[in-house]
Structure 1
Amino acid sequence: MKKLCLSICLLGLTLFSSCDLAQAQDFKAKAVMISNQNLTILGENLATPEQAVRLIKTVNPKPLLTCSVEELVEHYFQEAQKEGIRGDVALSQALLETGFFRYGGSVDYRQNNFCGLGSTGKNVGGARFTDAKLGVRAHIQHLLVYSSKKAPSENVVDPRFETVKKIPRLYASAKTWHDLDGRWAMSRPYGSKILDIHSRMLAIPVSPTQKSVAQKKVAASKEKTENKNIKARIQAILKNEK
């Protein structure tokens, strides 16, 4: 019984320490994930909407869009959250595909096609969407079918969703952004180019308010995970005591 009490006390101290250090570990965790070549497609945002907006406006003050930059960023963060996709990195992919919304290729900005869906050649414009939000949704759904077997939370608007599902080499085959090399795009290193833009986004200074919100979100997530692990360890101790 003494052993059990001691173990529970130690676990309590571990929980207390993790709460105190959560914010300090936040930035370290982000740095590790940025340098990690296995950053997953599924996951939470690391950048804030403010950082995304400021990056776009800094690189291209006059982006060709059918909505405001702020609205587009909001669409990416909201639509990606529904499917568990990293919206900030998905937006980075859109920036790569469109040249920071300068376009200039076979896709016209009025198509609201942010990732080249269906554009297979110089004279093939690809898919068209009635508004920016649907275009973003199609992009996120296309990432989902490449990275997971999960069904979309919204009606499918990605015109190539079912096509990808029928190709074993592509369907749910990409766990990381680097896995898109040779799948989403034949050019290499495609994933590295996306993550390079994402790193530039993360390098944008964050306002104190935005930083506080991001820190609290990460800290809450860490605390939840730690509590779950502690509960499992306590259950294991109790089981061994019987």
Structure 2
Amino acid sequence: MKKLIAALFCAAVFILSSCVSTSSNGFRISRNLTDKGVMSKDSLVNFFMANNPDADRKEIKKLAALYISEAKTEGINSDCAFIQMCHETGFLKFGNLVTPDMHNYCGLGAIDAEHTGERFATMKDGVRAHIQHLHAYATPETVSLKNKCIDSRYKWVRPRGKAPTIEGLTKTWAADPEYSVKLEAMLVRLEKF
């Protein structure tokens, strides 16, 4: 009987451990928006290029570096932010209301033909605004931005801190009831890079 119990315990441990996905560095990506990202710039770039091989690799390296840097400054998870950018832009293929020249990587203010979304002068400004908007969703009023706020919609996020995880972005950031499911699926794929 003890051998049977031991065998069942080992089988359960094996099954449970095989369900936990980890990155190539052995880290599981946190789904908490205020946790530190664990994926390297190269991992983010490789993931992106696997999904849009026609993209300019040099530009994607710059974009990934900006996501890591801006997220670190504001205490936001760069992995979740980068994945959200990939989802929102269709891996920079865009479409719908937002166009590449807008440097709007998360659909800020994109509602309809009359409200096509916010425009930012540079890639860096667009990334910064995205990170700042996530900051508003993920942190309480007591946590201030480090950089000057360039996200004109930051002040409208009420209550602050209403979405500390990617799951909380469903029906808050996006109306899509499957929004966090889609982000989760992308994070699981990213963990393999």
Provide TM-score, normalisation by structure 2: 0.81
Greater Rg by CA: 1
Q: Give the match's secondary structure for 1:203.
A: coil
1:80-99 per-position Cα deviation (integer Å, ceiling 9, x unaligned): 00111110110000000011
Return 5+ residue gaps in structure 2 as ranges. 1-24
Root mean square deviation of aligned Cα: 1.9
**Partner AA of 1:188 in structure 2:** P
Q: Deviations over 1:149-206 (max 9, x none)?
A: 3111000010101121xx33xx2111111011110001022112112112212212xx
**SS of 1:136's equivalent?**
helix
The CA distance in 2 between the partners of 1:155 and 1:92, in whole Å, is 24
Asked if 2 retains the 8 angstrom alpha-carbon contact of 1:89 and 1:195, the reply is no
Q: 1:47/1:155 Cα in 2 relative to 1: closer, same or farther (>3 Å)?
A: same
**Larger helix percent:** 1
- Where in structure 1 do 4 or more consecutive aligned residues deviate above 4 Å? none
- Superposed CA deviations along residues 216-241 of structure 1, whole A, max 9, x for unmatched, are xxxxxxxxxxxxxxxxxxxxxxxxxx
Q: What residue in structure 2 maps to residue 94 of structure 1?
A: 85
Matched, 1:47 2:47: no
Q: State the AA in 1 paired with 2:167.
A: H
CA contact (8 A) 1:92 1:195 kept: no
Residue 184 in 1 paired to residue 173 in 2? Answer: yes
1:70 match = 61
Match status 1:107 vs 2:94: no
Q: Which amino acid aligns with 1:97?
A: E
Q: Report the Cα distance in structure 2 between the residues aligned to 1:197 and 1:133, rounded to whole angstroms.
A: 23
Matched with 1:146 is: 137
Q: 2:156 aligns with which of 143, 151, 163?
A: 163
> 3-state SS of the aligned residue for 2:110?
coil
| Aligned counterpart for 1:173 among listed residues 137, 159, 162 | 162
Identity %: 30
Q: Return the alpha-carbon distance in structure 1 between the equivalents of residues 187 and 161 of structure 2.
A: 23
* TM-score of the pair, normalised by structure 1: 0.65
Q: 1:57 aligns with which of 49, 62, 65?
A: 49
Instruction: Read off the aligned partner of 2:175 and give its amino acid letter.
Output: M
Structure-2 separation of matches of 1:133 and 1:50: 18
Specify the SS of the correspondent of 2:182. Answer: helix
